[in-house]
Structures are given as C-alpha cells and as structure tokens.
Amino acid sequence: MELTTKNIEQLYKFTKDHFVDWYDLQTELVDHLANDIEEIWKKNPSISFETARDISFKKFGIFGFGDIVEQKQNALSKHYWKEVLKEFVQFFRLPKIILTVFFCIGTYSLFSYFNNGYFIFSLIFLTTAIYPMFRLYKHVWRVKRRNKSNNKSWQLDGIIYQTAFFPYIVLCPYSTIVDLFFKPSFTPNQLIFFSVSLVLFSLLFYVSTEIVSPNMQKKMVKLFPDYAIV
C-alpha cells in the first residue's frame, strides 16, 4: 500500500498539531513517517492509516518530535556560526586584510579628527544599535508578509533571528556608549580600541547578514521555492 495525497496532508497536520511549526522540518518528518508507515503496511497491510501513523510516532519516544526539533535547531545554529566564522576570518587574510586595516585606520582617523564624546557616541550607537534593529525590523516584516501569503513558516528564519540579529543587538555595549556621551575627549589608546572594536563588530554583522544569511536562504529556495522572500 502507498500513501495517498490526503494521507500526506494529514501527516503535515499531525506534525503541526504536535508542535512542529516549521514547514521545512514538517516536510522532513512527514517523509520519515510516510516511509515508516509504508514499511509497517508491508508487514501488516490490514491496519488503518491512523494506527500505522501512531505506531510510527511512538518510535520517537516520550517527547515525540521535541528531541528532533531541538537537535535540528542546534545543528542548524552550529552550522550557521561555522559559516560566519569561515567568512569572518577571510577578512584577516590576504587580500581582504588590507581592507580590514584600511577600515581600522580610517575609523581611527575619523575619531581622532572629531575627538569628542558626542560624535563618537552617535557613530557607535548608530552602528551597533540602531542599524541592526532597523535591519531586524525590515527582515521580520518581509518574512511575515511571505508567511502570510503562503501560510508557512520556516526553521531557518528562526535561526537567522537568533544568530544574525539578536546577538549583535545584545552585544551592543549600551552602558559603554552612553558613558561616551559624557566624556569630552579620549586618549589615542582609547580611540584605537573604539576603532578596532567598531570595525570588528561591523564586519561580523556584515558577514552574518550580507553573506551567510543570503547564501543559506538561496540554498533553501532551491529545496523549497515557497521560501523565497520578495
């Protein structure tokens, strides 16, 4: 016996009813359940679809799909950070290291020329707080619009929220940059520290949001055309 289209639809609903909200992970689980149900039917073709489905589901253990969901999230998150690190270190190798040094020198020169707390506070706050929040808002809006149009959500989007935006918002040194506002000027060593820190932060955010995220999204679109964000 083979599963019908209606059976497949029922399996999608079954996974969603068991707290698997992401369509990409639902598809993987549905494929696993479908293959297992067909194997069960080969051994006992008289049992119903619902019975075979429940037998297959029990093989996931007492936590159901929970362990699979957690494992997939952790694996995808690790893969994402691995890709970020791989791209990030390229900016410290030739030829990109020349660009990195240029940015550090340029930022230091800018800070030295306008060596006052208000200017440095404004630039750091804009780069490390306002811009990441703006990008996050824009991305969330586009994702919600797509999800509403096709009535699907995707695990990769959650990973992008967690690894491409929130870490940088949390890393933003709010208390430090507020302190900058009240200081009239800084020593050369402090300016070097601010310059290098700002460049590294900006590079990490750029790699995450402009290189790794788009690359992973392109791969997802090849597997699931509905994932495309317009």
Question: What value does the mean pLDDT take over residues 147-154?
Answer: 90
pLDDT the model gives residue 80: 92
Question: What value does the mean pLDDT take over residues 19-32?
Answer: 93
| Strand, helix or coil for residue 48 | coil
pLDDT the model gives residue 12: 95
Residues 31 and 82 in one domain: no
Residues 139 and 201 in one domain: yes
Residues 160 and 200 in one domain: yes
Residues 28 and 121 in one domain: no
Residues 145 and 221 in one domain: yes
Residues 18 and 119 in one domain: no
Asked if 23 and 32 touch (Cβ cutoff 8 Å), the reply is no
Query: Considering 47, 64, 81, which residue would you say is the last residue of a domain?
Result: 64
Cα 132 from Cα 172, distance rounded (Å) = 10
Residues 30 and 119 in one domain: no
Residues 12 and 87 in one domain: no
pLDDT the model gives residue 124: 81
Residues 132 and 200 in one domain: yes
Q: Quick: pLDDT tens for 214-230.
A: 999 999 999 999 999 87
Q: Identify the domain containing residue 133 by its residue range.
A: 73-227
- In the chain, how many domains are there? 2
Segment (H or E) for 137: helix 131-150
Cα 42 from Cα 35, distance rounded (Å) = 11
pLDDT band for position 162 (cuts 50, 70, 90)? confident
On whether the pTM is more than 0.75, the answer is yes
